[in-house]
């Protein structure tokens, strides 16, 4: 997040408490603090726009979600592989002399 800026966000992607506050917020007015499972928040709605709910838009959103999920899975697999293949040797100062 950029200083708390969520940019344009789909209300359906938010927890219910946040979604409700956003729906009731007046544009350009900072809300009173409210709590969600993620902590305390204040909210200022800077603008509203209609969402594209056409079939094509839903398909693009679904493809994006699947692509992101696959990317995350591949990233985790790659990181696990790198960790498994890593060789770490720890050398403590003076350990060579103590072994003699």
The tens digit of pLDDT for each residue in 42-64 reads 999 999 887 766 777 788 888 88
Residue-range definition of the domain harbouring residue 60: 52-85
Tokens 């594209």 -> residue: 52
Residues 54, 60, 64: CA angle, nearest 5 degrees: 145
Q: Per the structure, how many domains does the chain have?
A: 2
- Residue 93 domain-assigned? no
Among 9-18, 33-42, 50-59, where is mean pLDDT lowest?
50-59
Domain co-membership, 12 together with 56: no
Average pLDDT over residues 24-46: 93
pLDDT at 99 over 70: no
Domain co-membership, 32 together with 76: no
- Residue 100 domain-assigned? no
- Residue 90 domain-assigned? no
Please spell the DSSP secondary structure of 54-93, one letter per residue: SHHHHHHHHHHHHHHHHHHHHHHHHHHHHHHH-------T
Whole-structure pTM value: 0.47
pLDDT of residue 21: 94
- Residue 28 domain-assigned? yes
């Amino acid at each position: 997040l950029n200083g708390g800026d969520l940019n344009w966000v789909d209300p359906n992607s938010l927890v219910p408490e946040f979604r409700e506050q956003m729906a009731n917020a007046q544009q350009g007015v900072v809300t009173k603090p409210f709590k969600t499972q993620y902590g305390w928040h204040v909210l200022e709605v800077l603008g509203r726009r209609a969402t594209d709910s056409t079939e094509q838009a839903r398909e693009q959103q679904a493809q994006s979600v699947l692509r992101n999920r696959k990317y995350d899975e591949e990233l985790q697999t790659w990181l696990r592989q790198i960790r498994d293949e890593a060789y770490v040797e720890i050398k403590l100062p003076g350990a060579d002399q103590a072994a003699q």
